[in-house]
Structure 1
Amino acid sequence: MFEDSWYSIVPDIQQRRGTGSANSQSAGPGHRRRASLLQQPNDTSDNGGRGNQLSALYENREDTASPPSPTLIPRAHSWSDLAGIANARPTKNPISTQHPRNHNVHFQLDALTLCPSETVDWAMGKDEIEGEATTDDLLQASLQEYSLYHGQLEMTERHLGTLVEDADSALRILESLCKSFRTVEEQTTSFRSQCDDLLTEQKRLEVLAEEVGTDLHYYAYLDNVLRRLNAPGAGRLVDDEAFGEVLTSLDSCIAFMTKNNHYRDAESYLARYQSLLTKALHLLEVGFTNRLEKVSGEVSRQIASTQSESARHALAYGRFEEILMESYSLIPNIQTVVLSAYDQYGQAKTGLNSDIYSNTANNLFHAYWAVRDRDLKPIVQHELDAFKQEAKDVSVETAARTFIKQCFERSYNEATLFQKLFSIEPHYSTDSKSAFTALRSSSRSLVTGTNITPIATALQPVLGTRDLKTICLVVGWVTSEYLLLEYDEDETPFAAHCRGLASRLLVEHLWTFTDAFFEAEIARSIAKAAITPESLKIGPMTNNESTSNAFPPVKKAVELLGMFDQSMPKERCQRNSPVVFKIVNESIAGLQRAEARIKSSKIGTDADLFMIKNLLILKNELMSLEIGDVRSSQAPGMGLEHFGQIWETISSNNPLNIVGNILTSFSSYIPGSSYWSRGNGNVASAPPVSSQNITQHDAGEQLDNLLRQSIYAFTRRWATTINEALAKNKLGGKNIAKIERDLDEMLDRAFTNQPEVVAKLKEAIQIDASAQNEAAREAKLGSRATKP
């Protein structure tokens, strides 16, 4: 129960012994009384500390009415310790000689007994303890300290007892309360279930009342909005923020009546709400139109009165925007209506009232562009007159460039102003419900992001009076200026807008216009070209140009192909262009007519060599321009295909196929690739070209078939001629020399600057002749073997 520090003041036994012996020696023979066993060690510092503790204890008892709080203080030596010291000392004390063992036990027990009286009955027999007054005082002080601690313990015990009694009493009360609660719970179970049912019913009624109140709100709103829209000053509502709330509330009411069409009078209320929405939007249209007329009346007069281009531009865009935007909520309300019909890029939204909103938005667009056309008409007319005058005085190409740039700049300014006003940027779309489609017919004379017809309307009459080359220069400039440039990642909005306008201008107007001129020129100079005897002859080349001695329609076809390639992007030339197909197709038809005329008139021209010469020129031009597909727009399975080999599978058993291997090395004449493009088979088995086996919709296939047939016929005929001459003249006389000389002159005149072509044709003729001789010998041996 006590800490170790409680016993810290008990002196060591050995030290006590030493002290007693010293005192006995120093007392001398004259003082026979022994030192008291209760005497404390002779330690000044230690005794002083104990005295202070006792004095502090006494002061606390005097100052306070209640005993101090229990504290652990060093206690004095107990009598048991003193008795043990006395028993260990070898003296003649009568107390320790009578009952040493029992005396020790009783002495220890009595030391723990606190008596209230000052007298102590040691109950140790009849022996008396002799001591001085100092020993009694120490004993009394020690007992007083124990008495204080004993009182504190008794008080703590009483408090603990009281707490235990209170806890027992509380437990008994709680137990009785639990019994009472259980009894009450048993008795109120049915009542509680009834209360729960009542609460559930109450909640249901609350929800029902809330729903009924909400539904009634949609019915009760009719009178409110009816008064507001039919008020005398209802037109001023469109310039207030409350107009947006009216539109939102009407949308909610219409959606509610549509969803709950089984409610009473729902159809009637739906029709009335829709008519009120239409009326509100009509008020917005009227307010916007009035605002436009007011702004237009101020700006148009200033534009008409000034002659400065910069001042007109500032008035038409800067001043117009500034005055139009000076309103409280008219422009935000217009943007709300437009965005209810279209998204940010002009695509139509799907919703309950989208048709009503889109109709209003389109009416707003038409009203806006009507005012803009009227206000900017002087500027547009001035630029159009300047374009026509410059086309007459300077050049059509320069005038067209200036006019197109001015139109593109104005279109970008109009698109920027339109986006600020209506908060949408219409993108190209073929959807009939999109804003782009609605805006295409809104503006008539003003160039906008959706209407480029005014540019084409101004260009086509001027270009129609010029030649095809001028038209190709203008179209080619537009293509290279706006479509073929490699834009960086940070492309400016103006450049993107111009590129979109240029692409639509070319696709919708200029390309069709140019194709019509090409078709007219093809019909005039190729299809209907007159065939004269001079044009059927292969004359000498001039200026080392392979086309100088070509058939005139073929020359024109090469020229038209080059012009078309310069004015059009590669994608349009390479993907089934109707113009390219018509050029090649009409050229082939003209060559066939010329071949028939040569064979019938016998003017001295080799028909096969004539075809080879002109067909190679036409094929070379197609390869140089990288035109891979020459099909009509009605051809089945149209698509971009690369040139392959005409003879993809050549049989090694037929020696005549060597001709095909030789002629595939004409790469010096046809840059980039061999001229063989399509088909399979070999030269020896090449079928004649006829209307049955020529592909109708593929001019490239026709060209390849004709070229194969002409090469086969030419080499086979000359090989046969050489073999016949050798057969008649075994010694190889003048006939053979004359034939070879004629062949050389013919090939040199046709292919003056292509010696490789001449050499390959000669080699093919020789190989074909050898193959014919070998086939004749085999046939002769076979006939001999079959004879009996």
Structure 2
Amino acid sequence: MYEDSWYSFVPEIQQRRGPSAVSSTQAAGPGHRRKESLLQQPNCAGDHADAANPLPALFEDREDTNAPPQALVIQRAKSYSDFCDIVTPRLVSQSSKKLRKQRRRQNHSTQWEALALSIPETGLVEAVEDGLQPDVLKEELLKASQQEYLLYHDQLEMTERHLGTLVDDANSALRMLESLCQSFRAVEDQTTSFQSQCDDLLTEQKRLEELADEIGTDLYYYGYLDNVIRRLNAPGAGRLVDDEVFGEVLANLDSCIAFMTKNNLYRDAESYLTRYQSLLTKALHLLEVGFTNRLEKVSSEISRQIAATQSESARHALAYGRFEEILMDSYSLIPNIQIVIMSAYDQYGQPKAGLNSDIYTNTANNLFHAFLDIRDRDLKPIVQHELDAFKQDLKDTSLETALRNFVKQCFERSYIEAALFRKIFSIEPHYSPEARSAFAALKSHQRSLVTGTNIAPIATNLQSTLQARDLGTVCHVIGWITSEYLLVDYDEDESPFAAHCRELASRILAEHLWTFTDAFFEAEIARSISRAVVKPEELKIGPMVGGNATSNAFPPVKRAVELLGMFDQSMPKERCQRNSPVVFKIVKESMAALHRADTRIRSSKNGTDSDLFMIKNLLILKNELLSLEIGDIRSSQVAGMGLQHFGQIWDTISSSSPLNLVGSILTSFTSYIPGSSLWSRSGTPTPRAATPSAQIDNTQHDAGEQLDGLLRQSIYAFTRRWATTINEARNPQSNKLGEKNLAKIERELDEMLERVFTTQPEVVAKLKEAIQIEAQAQSEAARESQKGGSRITRV
């Protein structure tokens, strides 16, 4: 309403005091400096000059003549502030002129000095000259002295009036706002019910919209049938598989089938479900036909070029690079095929679960077989050329070199085929025992081309080549494959090719070559151990040759040790240590051969100690098993049960060095000494059977336990027999020779043990210690029996 500068105006008029007044104030000394009143009369005449100085602005500047003062034109003020700015300097200038005039008059007249003490000099002079009365003069003087304060008073009154106006306006505005608030409250009270009705209407509208959307969605699943029928039955429907729309058709058919399956209580849901499934089958059939036609077109071009060239590099470029380039040169055929494959399998070939998984799986398998048939037909000249080159290498180079080159070449081709398969179908089938997996589907389709799933051609060629070779060559080839691809410590940065080769090698060995090698070993066991012809001189224990413990072993046992070593070198440790049928058969047939030899030794009486013969050969066989770390020897009937408890004997027997098979059994040999806790499972000595040796139980699965039992019985029989002989020699009543005969028997025992265990003095010492323990036990038993018999006689 008004400007801010108007309210903040304060005129800056400074009252100026004369030099006499200033000097008078300074002369008064310190104290309060209260402003002197304009109405105060001077106390003495000597201070009249100082008393007249405070009002220099009231004097008028007059000339000595009686002429009127010169008229001045005062500039009109634009505003009140401009008026003050103009008038104030002029008043100051007039007061200075009047002060000068007063000083001139004081020199000429002193008759008004008394009046000058009480009233201002300028006002008095003017009043006298104008002929005014003292009361009037007093009022005029009072107004002149209060002029500055009256100006502030007027300004404050004007400000007060304006502030009152503002307060009145603010009050009227507040009253208007209060009325508006009351009006709004009234309107709100009146519209609350209307608003609730509107909210109800909006909620109902939303419900109807959702219901309409649901009905429209449901009708879409019914109405899509006519659209898809027209598309799939159109004359050019085969071209649909090479378009992006085909993927949308499959997705829509899946959605419709899922909807009809979920809402089977809807009207005609079963009929629509059947029709949608048949349409999905038809669409996938169109895809199969389109892919087969595309393969035939590419094959006709590639196969002709492959047959026309003789260069291996050119054939390789045509069979892989050119084939992939032409086949992938399509709009959407390959992406649509990948959509179908990924609907049936995951990235690694594992089956997916779904409503239409069976339909998609059947189509995917048909696509796989169509592709592999075409590849097998196109690459048949290349494969045949490689087989001819392999046969020529068998003639020109060594067998092992030719086989290594052939295996590496097949692994490389398999890796390239797997990469091509992965680019086309977007999956990489890994080994899986699942019957519904992609690996099983590809494996069932056998071909001459080597792929990631078809390794039969490699195994067939290897077996046909090794069939006429000896066991040593077979073991050497199998050992090379095992050490080359399975026993290598691969780090985290293993290349995809190395991983592929390792997987192929493990499958070839597990599915084909290990069983093939086992058959070779079984034939060799039957020939050299089971049906081996034993000469009479081989039933004797000859001297050791070169300090080798097996040099004077029984020939079938010696061959069994050789077979165990060959099997361990050609097979991984896991297969040797866990329920190997070959190891089981070697041990069983060796014990049976020893049983037959023991029978012949006892019947022929050729001077060989049958018990020591059994101990010698059983220890050799036992220590070979220990050196190869074979701890569980079971038949194939219980294979797969894992490592079984081998018995308490294996807790105390330490592993032996292969360089000295028998010399390291010092600590383990005490387990077979009579009276120890490992003598039998019950802790009681098991007496020697009446037959020459224990019968071999072919129905017992753990051959290691049977070997321990047979060795334990042989040691017990040997120590008991020689302990009895020594006790008889020590008894003077039963032996006429007495101590002389005892020395001969001990010398004979030492010579026999030294001849059998030439380089194993520990074994000799342990056997002699066992004999002494058994002899002492027999003597104590005899004394106890005699004491009991004498007591009975006295009674």
What TM-score does the superposition give when structure 1 sets the normalisation length? 0.81
Counterpart contact for 1:20–1:35, Cα < 8 Å: no
Match of 2:225 among 216, 222, 225: 222
Q: Which residue of 2 aligns with 1:60?
A: 79
Residues 24-77 of structure 1: CA deviation (Å, up to 9, x unaligned)? 599769x799649877899xxxxxxxxxxxx9995423989xx99xxxxxxxxx
Residues 714-772 of structure 1: CA deviation (Å, up to 9, x unaligned)? 11111211222333446645533432333233223222222322232223223322332
Q: Which residue of 1 aligns with 2:213?
A: 210
What is the one-letter code of the residue matched to 1:599? R
2:268 is the alignment partner of 1:265: yes
What is the one-letter code of the residue matched to 1:541? M
Cα distance in 2 for partners of 1:559, 1:776 equals 47
Cα distance in 1 for partners of 2:33, 2:57 equals 12
Q: Which residue of 2 aligns with 1:102?
A: none
2:763 is the alignment partner of 1:757: yes
Match of 2:599 among 596, 600, 624: 596
Counterpart contact for 1:573–1:627, Cα < 8 Å: yes
Match of 2:168 among 154, 161, 168: 161
Name the CA shift for 1:644/1:699 in 2 (closer, same or farther; >3 Å).
Answer: closer
Name the CA shift for 1:749/1:14 in 2 (closer, same or farther; >3 Å).
Answer: closer
2:156 is the alignment partner of 1:149: yes
Cα distance in 1 for partners of 2:438, 2:162 equals 99
Deviation at 1:242, TM superposition (A): 1.3
Name the CA shift for 1:631/1:763 in 2 (closer, same or farther; >3 Å).
Answer: same
Residues 74-124 of structure 1: CA deviation (Å, up to 9, x unaligned)? xxxxxxxxxxxxxxxxxx99x99xxxxxxxxxxxxxxxxxxxxxxxxxxxx
Counterpart contact for 1:647–1:682, Cα < 8 Å: no
Cα distance in 2 for partners of 1:237, 1:762 equals 94
Name the CA shift for 1:670/1:583 in 2 (closer, same or farther; >3 Å).
Answer: farther
Q: Which is further off, 345-354 or 299-308?
A: 299-308
Deviation at 1:276, TM superposition (A): 1.6
2:178 is the alignment partner of 1:171: yes
Deviation at 1:668, TM superposition (A): 5.6
Deviation at 1:193, TM superposition (A): 5.5
Deviation at 1:619, TM superposition (A): 0.8
Residues 395-439 of structure 1: CA deviation (Å, up to 9, x unaligned)? 322222111111111111111111111111111111111111111
Q: Which residue of 1 aligns with 2:681?
A: 680
Cα distance in 1 for partners of 2:441, 2:596 equals 53
Q: Which is further off, 152-161 or 280-289?
A: 152-161
2:627 is the alignment partner of 1:624: yes
Q: Which residue of 2 aligns with 1:742?
A: 748
Deviation at 1:132, TM superposition (A): 9.8
Deviation at 1:479, TM superposition (A): 0.6
Cα distance in 2 for partners of 1:33, 1:192 equals 88
Match of 1:438 among 438, 441, 445: 441
Match of 1:128 among 135, 139, 143: 135
Deviation at 1:200, TM superposition (A): 3.3
Q: Which residue of 1 aligns with 2:88?
A: none
Cα distance in 2 for partners of 1:271, 1:179 equals 66
Deviation at 1:454, TM superposition (A): 1.0
Q: Which residue of 1 aligns with 2:418?
A: 415
Name the CA shift for 1:179/1:640 in 2 (closer, same or farther; >3 Å).
Answer: closer
Q: How does 1:449-598 map to 2 (within 5 A)?
A: 449-598=452-601
Q: Which residue of 2 aligns with 1:84?
A: none
Match of 2:700 among 696, 701, 709: 696
2:339 is the alignment partner of 1:336: yes
In structure 2, list runs of 5 or more residues that go unmatched: 1-6, 18-24, 26-30, 60-73, 86-113, 119-132, 653-659, 673-677
Deviation at 1:7, TM superposition (A): 12
What is the one-letter code of the residue matched to 1:607? S
RMSD between aligned residues: 3.8
Cα distance in 1 for partners of 2:32, 2:517 equals 136
Cα distance in 1 for partners of 2:548, 2:234 equals 88
Q: Which is further off, 772-781 or 374-383?
A: 772-781
Q: Which is further off, 17-26 or 497-506?
A: 17-26
Name the CA shift for 1:448/1:173 in 2 (closer, same or farther; >3 Å).
Answer: closer
Q: How does 1:376-395 map to 2 (within 5 A)?
A: 376-395=379-398
Deviation at 1:308, TM superposition (A): 2.3
Deviation at 1:235, TM superposition (A): 1.5
Cα distance in 1 for partners of 2:291, 2:493 equals 37
Name the CA shift for 1:499/1:56 in 2 (closer, same or farther; >3 Å).
Answer: farther
Counterpart contact for 1:719–1:766, Cα < 8 Å: yes
2:792 is the alignment partner of 1:782: no
Name the CA shift for 1:8/1:341 in 2 (closer, same or farther; >3 Å).
Answer: farther
Deviation at 1:139, TM superposition (A): 3.4
Match of 2:615 among 612, 616, 626: 612
What is the one-letter code of the residue matched to 1:156? L
Deviation at 1:445, TM superposition (A): 0.9
Cα distance in 2 for partners of 1:17, 1:495 equals 114
Aligned-partner SS, 1:237: helix
Q: Which residue of 1 aligns with 2:727?
A: 723
Counterpart contact for 2:478–2:570, Cα < 8 Å: yes
Deviation at 1:169, TM superposition (A): 3.8
Cα distance in 2 for partners of 1:21, 1:264 equals 119
Q: Which residue of 1 aligns with 2:718?
A: 714
Counterpart contact for 2:579–2:640, Cα < 8 Å: no
Q: Which is further off, 342-351 or 149-158?
A: 149-158
Counterpart contact for 2:296–2:374, Cα < 8 Å: yes
Name the CA shift for 1:148/1:639 in 2 (closer, same or farther; >3 Å).
Answer: closer
Residues 675-717 of structure 1: CA deviation (Å, up to 9, x unaligned)? 6597435675546475598971111111111111111111111
Cα distance in 1 for partners of 2:241, 2:588 equals 66
Count of equivalent residues: 701
Q: How does 1:323-362 map to 2 (within 5 A)?
A: 323-362=326-365
Q: Which residue of 2 aligns with 1:770?
A: 776
Counterpart contact for 2:663–2:759, Cα < 8 Å: no
Counterpart contact for 2:592–2:696, Cα < 8 Å: no
Q: Which is further off, 542-551 or 708-717?
A: 542-551
Deviation at 1:135, TM superposition (A): 6.5
Cα distance in 1 for partners of 2:502, 2:467 equals 25
Aligned-partner SS, 1:787: helix
What is the one-letter code of the residue matched to 1:598? I
Cα distance in 1 for partners of 2:633, 2:75 equals 126
Deviation at 1:548, TM superposition (A): 2.2
Q: Which is further off, 397-406 or 159-168?
A: 159-168
Q: Which is further off, 717-726 or 351-360?
A: 717-726
Counterpart contact for 1:648–1:680, Cα < 8 Å: no
Name the CA shift for 1:139/1:733 in 2 (closer, same or farther; >3 Å).
Answer: closer
Cα distance in 2 for partners of 1:212, 1:744 equals 106
Cα distance in 2 for partners of 1:672, 1:565 equals 25
Deviation at 1:541, TM superposition (A): 2.5
What is the one-letter code of the residue matched to 1:631? R
Cα distance in 2 for partners of 1:712, 1:56 equals 153
Q: Which is further off, 511-520 or 196-205?
A: 196-205
Residues 611-657 of structure 1: CA deviation (Å, up to 9, x unaligned)? 111111111111111111111122499432576654989xxxxxxxx
What is the one-letter code of the residue matched to 1:473? H
Aligned-partner SS, 1:502: helix
